[in-house]
Amino acid sequence: MVVSLYLCLFITNLLILAFLLVSTPLLIRVIHVPERFLGVSVLALSLVGVYSIRNQVTDCWIATAFGLFGYVLRRVDWPLVPIILGIILGEIMEEKFRASLARVETPLDFVTRPAAATIAALIALALLSHLVAEFRSWKVRRSLAAVEP
């Protein structure tokens, strides 16, 4: 069984290599497509994919709303990666959190082990340092605004 698995992986790698050797010149041509055409194509394919999951137009409107939300966040220079990670990992973390709540009696039970206490302390330290940095930048911006006429 292990030998057949490795053989399949080897054959798969050979097929991928053959595909990439043949299709790389065609894929490089995508770089020369103007961004406005490429963006419209990606948007259309995304909406078709969203619609094909449940065949409901409501899903397309929700996807469009999240796309606009992402555009606004990019315009105001907010990082998108934490939001995407939160959307993807949020459900998994909520499930694990609910399972862990069934095993604890007080909130301090979460930090009874040294590793958990260390991680909790690092998280608290990171949040505190971020809040201090934001407060300092806010004070600087406020003092600069007071100086300008």
Indicate whether 125 belongs to any domain: yes
Q: How many domains does one find in the chain?
A: 2
What's phi and psi for 114, nearest 5 deg?
-60, -40
Residue 56 CA to its chain's centroid (Å): 25
Please give the structure tokens belonging to residue 52. 């094909």
CA dihedral 68, 73, 75, 77 (to 10 degrees): -170
Q: For residue 59, how many other CB atoms are within 10 A of its CB?
A: 16
Indicate whether 79 belongs to any domain: no
Indicate whether 93 belongs to any domain: no
Question: pLDDT tens across 61-115, in order?
Answer: 999 998 898 889 889 988 888 888 888 999 999 998 888 888 888 878 888 889 9
Q: Which residue range(s) make up the domain with 118?
A: 109-149
Indicate whether 124 belongs to any domain: yes
Q: In the chain, which residue ranges form alpha helices assigned H by DSSP? A: 2-28, 35-54, 57-75, 81-101, 114-147
- Output the pLDDT for position 105: 84
Indicate whether 87 belongs to any domain: no
Radius of gyration of the chain, Cα coordinates, nearest whole angstrom: 25
Question: pLDDT tens across 11-29, in order?
Answer: 999 999 999 999 998 888 8
Total-model pTM: 0.49
Indicate whether 88 belongs to any domain: no
**CA separation for the pair 109, 101 (Å, rounded):** 10
pLDDT score of 149 more than 70: no
Indicate whether 50 belongs to any domain: no
Q: Rounded mean pLDDT of the chain?
A: 89
